[in-house]
Amino acid sequence: MRTGVTKMRIESDMIKTGAVVVILVATYAGVVFWPSQRQNQALADEILNKQTELEQAPRPDLEPVRKEIASLRAELRERAVVLPKGDLDDRVLHHVSDTLIQRGVTLYETSYRQTKEFSRFSMTPIDVQFKTDFANAFEIIKQIENAGPPVRIERLDIVGTEGSTAGQVEVTIELSSFFEREGGQR
């Protein structure tokens, strides 16, 4: 008899376990699975609607943008500065000296400091000091900056000379002179 009772108990436990599993699966399906499926379907429908909107939206006219880009590239090519190859030579110093002499300045001082090396170019700081009138100083600066080897004015000091009635000024310019490194890549 004991086997019969044990067998009934096992069958009863199996039915209870099966019922618990069915309840758990039904609860999971009702609480987690079906709501997430509905949410996924809603998101898929929204994506489909947005894709349809994008396909029907008018395409922007990119031709003006392309023309502007081409114009800017052309302007950039025109403004490109070709750097002299090698190390600092006397081209910049000669240009500064020639400019000063042409503008009537015979007393001046020029010096350069240690060259700084970068990956594709070198830069040498150059100091220039001279005295002249203000209008002439302006023309000298313009010619040094625009008419010779590539330089950039890093600092400019113009100070009126004390007691001068002719508008004399003392000018100190710190220039950077640029050169393409030998074997440097462009």
Give 29-44 pLDDT, tens digit per residue.
Answer: 777 777 788 888 888 8
pLDDT at 86 over 50: yes
Rounded Cα distance, 143 and 90, in Å:
17
For 29, the token pair is 């399906």
Rounded Cα distance, 23 and 160, in Å:
97
Rounded Cα distance, 96 and 101, in Å:
9
pLDDT at 135 over 80: yes
Contacts of 111 (CB under 8 A, 6+ apart): 126, 127
Is 0.75 surpassed by the pTM of this model?
A: no
Please give the CATH topology (third level) of the domain spanning 91-180: Alpha-Beta Plaits (3.30.70)
Domain residue spans in the chain?
1-57, 91-180
pLDDT at 109 over 60: yes
Task: Quote the Cα angle for 75-89-136, to 5°.
Answer: 65
